[in-house]
Chain A
Amino acid sequence: MDAMIQAIIQGILLGGLFAAVGVGMNMIFGIVKITNLAHGDFLILACYLSLFFMGSFGANPFLSLIIVVPLMFFIGFALQATMLNKVLNRGDEPPLLITFGFSIIIQNLLLYFFTANAQKLQTPMLLKSISITDTIRIPVMYLISCLAGIVIILLLGVYMKNTYMGKAIRATSDDNEAAQLMGVNIKTTYGVAMGISMMTAGVAGVLIGILFNFYPNSGSTYLIIAFAVVVIGGIGNIYGTLAAGIIFGLAQVVGGQLLGASYQQLIGYLVLLIMLIVRPQGLFSK
């Protein structure tokens, strides 16, 4: 029984992190209408950026966020402004190819500069946990990750609702042509949206780098998680992403608890598959 409760806690907490992994991709799906195939790789790029700055300045990974997050915004904005914006009205394939190309480029650059060795962002926080009972414990890093996911999503919601740029982004997402006629420069809004998406990838990436080992080609694992979260939550629905992350996290951890850890991922994807069959538009889409 305790083991099950432990699994549920862990599943929910992991879900918050999964939401952070997927929310940026969901934004870009909904706003720019692009499937960013490099989303996972950008996440891993953030891991390595953090590793690099930690090494350079002896900082702890949390501190590296101060550099990594703005840097990721800049990378996202630049990617959108210099490449994706150039192919806006050329159909679905060109942007897909660009992001796929980026996926390959990032993986190989990381391989070149950091080798294929497993890496991890070190922090003593990883070993800490809060004891609830003798057998049930909340791992502090999981808790932090989950809270980070929730905070990211709440901040995004507030930004979209209350700022002029947020409103412009939503307007562009609804009808980009009409938005332009209202004076909105959609290339800028797309750039900002991609930048924000990359900021969320930056935070999620650093958290993942602390919790799990990563390699230059780890991105695809997280791309699939992001996909799952987007599909379950519904495209363009930021809050749905949070619920979807938790559902996906719970499915993995609780399923793993019932059937054995080696089935964890399989169960997660079974849930995704069932979702695609039963409710392909996502749980929270109209």
Chain B
Amino acid sequence: MGTILRVENLHVAYGKFKVLHELSFEVEEGEVLGVIGPNGAGKTTLMNALTGLVIPYEGNILFDGHTITKLTSDRRCRLGLGRTYQVPRPFEGLTVFENVLVGASYGTGGNERTTAARAIEVLKSTDLYEKSDIVAGKLTLLDRKRMEIARALATEPRLLLLDEVAAGLTDAEVREVMRLVDYLKQTGITIIWIEHVIKTMAESTDKLLCLATGTRLIYGDPQYVMHSKEVEEVYLGVEEE
């Protein structure tokens, strides 16, 4: 067990608008880190910086010993960094199987022979196997969320970033997704999990990181973070708006 991800003094801006500043944290291998914070705290920007969709102007990201700060998304993926989107973005013209196959073939960096088998295995573990041949554009939201996870899983990530997997789902559906997340945890994948609604995730995480106004507000054990004055203030502040 070592540190799999180290974020050092991260600064990200869109044009002149600074979204993240002086953000540092570490994630241990096998850990589930929840990232919470009110709207505009920079959660999704953090995701984008980790996956290479936005390049920080200062600071460093180290993944598994490699400096990945400026690598392209596809290279990060092949190093073992997976991600799901808050609003699922399936390849709508491809079947469910093909969607997962793209991840399994390109995301793992080789070995075409085992690719299809890998895709099928992932589909089975995410309860999508029966829907393999459906065109992804026709899936329900829950299945899209499932496929979002399946696709990321197919790239054989060592660190998986989950961006608000529960958003937009009914309570029953959230439970379905949670089952899937529990399964992910059992496989030993390190997870960084962003959620706007904290009660969904507090029980399933090892550590919580709360962001506010683009930087780290508080970090630590979920119970400690949840009941801290800082988090209470930030979240109450939002509710009052």
Chain A interface: which size bin? 10 to 19
* Inter-chain pairs besides A164-B105, A183-B106, 17 sampled, C-beta below 8 Å: A164-B101, A164-B106, A164-B112, A167-B102, A170-B93, A174-B93, A175-B91, A177-B73, A180-B72, A181-B82, A181-B83, A182-B74, A182-B106, A183-B78, A183-B107, A184-B102, A185-B75
Among A167, A174, A175, A182, which residue has its beta carbon within 8 angstroms of that of B155? A182
Among B74, B91, B92, B93, which residue has its beta carbon within 8 angstroms of that of A180? B74
**Closest A-chain residue to B85, C-beta based?**
A178
- Write the B61-96 contact mask toward A (1 if CB under 8 angstroms, else 0): 000000000001111011000110100011111100
CB distance from A204 to the nearest CB of B (A): 25
Please report A residues at the B interface, Cβ cutoff 8 Å.
164, 167-168, 170-171, 173-175, 177-186
Which residues from chain B contact A174 at a C-beta distance below 8 Å? 90-94
- CA of A170 to CA of B53 in the docked complex: distance in angstroms? 20
Please report B residues at the A interface, Cβ cutoff 8 Å.
51-53, 72-75, 77-78, 82-83, 85, 89-94, 98-99, 101-103, 105-109, 112, 115, 151-152, 154-155
**Closest A-chain residue to B156, C-beta based?**
A183
**Closest A-chain residue to B107, C-beta based?**
A183
A–B complex contacts, Cβ < 8 Å, 18 sampled? A167-B98, A168-B105, A170-B91, A171-B98, A174-B94, A175-B91, A177-B53, A177-B73, A178-B85, A178-B90, A179-B102, A181-B152, A182-B74, A182-B106, A182-B107, A182-B154, A183-B106, A183-B109
Q: Are B91 and A178 in contact (CB under 8 A)?
A: yes
Interface centre among A164, A168, A170, A178 (most CB of B within 10 A): A178
Which residues from chain B contact A168 at a C-beta distance below 8 Å? 102, 105-106
**Closest A-chain residue to B98, C-beta based?**
A167
- CA of A179 to CA of B106 in the docked complex: distance in angstroms? 9
CB distance from B68 to the nearest CB of A (A): 13
Which residues from chain B contact A173 at a C-beta distance below 8 Å? 93
CB distance from A177 to the nearest CB of B (A): 6
CB distance from A164 to the nearest CB of B (A): 5
- CA of A284 to CA of B181 in the docked complex: distance in angstroms? 41
**Closest B-chain residue to A173, C-beta based?**
B93
Q: Are A185 and B74 in contact (CB under 8 A)?
A: yes
Among A164, A175, A180, which residue has its beta carbon within 8 angstroms of that of B77? A180
Which residues from chain B contact A186 at a C-beta distance below 8 Å? 74
CB distance from A174 to the nearest CB of B (A): 4
Q: Are A183 and B101 in contact (CB under 8 A)?
A: no
Which residues from chain A contact B77 at a C-beta distance below 8 Å? 180-183
- CA of A170 to CA of B78 in the docked complex: distance in angstroms? 20
CB distance from A267 to the nearest CB of B (A): 34
Q: Are A181 and B73 in contact (CB under 8 A)?
A: yes
Which residues from chain A contact B108 at a C-beta distance below 8 Å? 183
CB distance from B66 to the nearest CB of A (A): 15
- CA of A175 to CA of B89 in the docked complex: distance in angstroms? 7
**Closest A-chain residue to B100, C-beta based?**
A182
Which residues from chain A contact B51 at a C-beta distance below 8 Å? 181
**Closest A-chain residue to B89, C-beta based?**
A178
- CA of A178 to CA of B89 in the docked complex: distance in angstroms? 7
**Closest A-chain residue to B82, C-beta based?**
A181
Interface centre among A164, A179, A181, A184 (most CB of B within 10 A): A181
